[in-house]
Amino acid sequence: MRYTRQNKIVELIAGHEIDTQEKLAEYLKKSGFDVTQATVSRDIKELQLVKALAPSGQYKYTLADVGARQATARFVKIFKDTIQTAAHSGNMIVVKTLTGCANAACEAIDSLEFPHILGSIAGDSTIFIVVEDQQYAPALVARFQDLLKQ
């Protein structure tokens, strides 16, 4: 439930200018999540959200810049708790996650800054990753599987 809720938070802050915990809680409640202010506060801390200037001139919650984020134990935990399988074909990797967790797992993959990944796209339970060259795909899948075993 926590990963699904945090996944929804990432989606909400990407699509709306949310500037307070109360507003974020309202959006979550409209999305079917029964949350308290304390839960929202914990989620903001765990997701490492920051406030940044939006195009409207107001501040809003956003994910910290990738360059500023560190590969923390939190991202490894999200990775390990949500990813079920990873396989490759050519320069593409397909990762299967628990239902509703692909965005959170994809954010973990992006934050862990694995080398040779050009980009990733997350659905509900699937992540599609494009790798620079097919020679790197097997090693990346092996690294994913090693992380899952830890």
Q: Provide the CATH number for the domain around residue 34.
A: 1.10.10.10
Tally of domains in the chain = 2
Looking at the fold, whether 60 and 92 belong to one and the same domain comes out as no
Looking at the fold, whether 41 and 91 belong to one and the same domain comes out as no
Of 3, 2, 1, the residue nearest 107 (C-alpha): 3
Residue 137, domain extent: 73-149
38-82 pLDDT per residue, tens: 999 999 988 888 888 777 778 899 887 654 444 466 777 888 889
Retrieve residue 6's tokens. 């945090």
Looking at the fold, whether 10 and 45 belong to one and the same domain comes out as yes
93-150 pLDDT per residue, tens: 999 999 998 988 998 888 777 889 999 999 999 999 999 999 999 999 999 998 888 7
